[in-house]
């Protein structure tokens, strides 16, 4: 407990791709020492970040689950989606500010790296100026994925593009065609569209699909051989073939 009247620090802690031994020493120390731990999860689920930290938390830990009101039920383009998520992040922000108001720090468990397409970013911008906030970097899921293939993702002057499979098909084709190395995330139900885009860009032979990278059940498959994917933990890779000595 800090001195009376002080505000605790909110730590966005990157847990890495899902293996406990791929956390940083700083992340491990903060997670094990925190009395207040918050994490995102889908309603009715344990949550991947919380599952990664299983067995690490103090016996007297106070858990603060933050349950998404919507995930894939509403299209991203629908006005209700942004309105719903904005209100959710505002509520989560108030929860964390209240938790830190007693002078104790709060650790927010974050998959991968907090500043790489992570939900914590939406809290960070709302917490600015209200409480002290610190971010602990983590290994990204895409780094876990390309290491799972046993091949470097980039060589020499290769340009790496990170794209979302939620993009319009024409935009995906352009991005895939115009880059040297590629990472595509948020695949799930977008797999048929992604297959067509990869084929249209003429990159089928070099495309790999990695599921559950660095987690139990990890699989590495050529895109041409993949029948289906898990909704969330799937990443498509095309390795660069650039300059090398």
Contact predicate 236/222, CB 8 Å: no
pLDDT higher than 70, residue 209? yes
Q: Are residues 131 and 158 in the same domain?
A: no
What does the pLDDT read at residue 6? 86
Residue range(s) defining the domain that contains residue 156: 142-238
Q: Are residues 40 and 72 in the same domain?
A: yes
What does the pLDDT read at residue 230? 66
Q: Are residues 135 and 147 in the same domain?
A: no
1 part of a folded domain? no
What does the pLDDT read at residue 188? 86
162 part of a folded domain? yes
Q: Are residues 216 and 173 in the same domain?
A: yes
Average pLDDT over residues 210-233: 86
Average pLDDT over residues 57-67: 97
243 part of a folded domain? no
Give per-residue pLDDT as tens, 129-171: 999 999 999 999 999 999 999 999 999 999 999 999 999 999 9
pLDDT higher than 60, residue 73? no
Listed in order, strand segments (DSSP E) in the chain are 10-14, 36-42, 62-68, 106-110, 133-136, 160-164, 181-185, 207-211, 219-222, 234-238
* Domain at 170, CATH number: 3.30.950.10
Question: Residue 82: pLDDT band by 50, 70, 90 thresholds?
Answer: confident
The three-point CA angle 19-85-132 to 5° equals 65
Q: Are residues 131 and 64 in the same domain?
A: yes
Q: Are residues 147 and 134 in the same domain?
A: no
Average pLDDT over residues 33-49: 94
pLDDT higher than 80, residue 59? yes
**How many structural domains are present in the chain?**
2
Q: Are residues 133 and 159 in the same domain?
A: no
Q: What is the mean pLDDT of the chain?
A: 93
- Which of 41, 98, 85 lies closest to 232, judged by CA? 41
Determine whether 125 is exposed, middle or buried from the number of CB atoms within 10 Å of its CB (0-12, 13-18, 19+). Answer: exposed
Q: Which of 139, 161, 185 is the last residue of a domain?
A: 139
* Domain at 130, CATH number: 3.40.1010.10
Q: Are residues 34 and 101 in the same domain?
A: yes
Q: Are residues 38 and 122 in the same domain?
A: yes
38 part of a folded domain? yes
Q: Are residues 82 and 170 in the same domain?
A: no
Question: Residue 57: pLDDT band by 50, 70, 90 thresholds?
Answer: very high
Q: Are residues 133 and 165 in the same domain?
A: no
Percentage of the chain exceeding pLDDT 70: 94
Question: Residue 74: pLDDT band by 50, 70, 90 thresholds?
Answer: low
pLDDT higher than 60, residue 7? yes
Backbone phi and psi for residue 226, each to the nearest 5 degrees, phi listed first? -80, 130
| Partners of 164 in beta bridges | 185
């Amino acid at each position: 407990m800090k001195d009376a009247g002080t505000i605790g620090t909110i730590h966005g802690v990157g847990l890495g791709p899902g293996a406990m031994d791929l956390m940083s020493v700083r992340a491990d120390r903060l997670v094990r020492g925190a009395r207040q731990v918050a994490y995102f999860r889908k309603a009715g689920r344990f949550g991947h970040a919380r599952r990664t930290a299983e067995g690490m938390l103090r016996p007297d830990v106070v858990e603060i689950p933050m349950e998404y009101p919507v995930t894939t039920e509403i299209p991203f383009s629908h006005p209700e989606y942004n309105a719903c998520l904005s209100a959710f992040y505002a509520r989560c922000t108030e929860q964390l500010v209240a938790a830190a108001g007693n002078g104790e720090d709060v650790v927010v468990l974050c998959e991968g790296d907090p500043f790489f397409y992570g939900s914590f970013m939406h809290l960070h911008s709302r917490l600015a100026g209200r409480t002290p906030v610190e971010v602990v970097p983590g290994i990204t899921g895409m780094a876990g994925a390309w290491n799972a293939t046993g091949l470097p993702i980039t060589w020499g002057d290769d340009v790496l593009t990170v794209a979302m499979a939620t993009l319009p098909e024409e935009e995906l084709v352009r991005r895939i065609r115009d880059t040297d190395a590629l990472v595509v995330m948020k695949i799930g139900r977008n797999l048929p569209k992604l297959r067509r885009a990869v084929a249209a860009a003429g990159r089928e032979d070099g495309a790999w699909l990695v599921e559950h990278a660095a987690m139990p059940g990890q699989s590495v498959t050529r895109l041409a051989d993949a029948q289906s994917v898990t909704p969330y933990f799937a990443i498509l890779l095309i390795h660069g073939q650039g300059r090398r000595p």
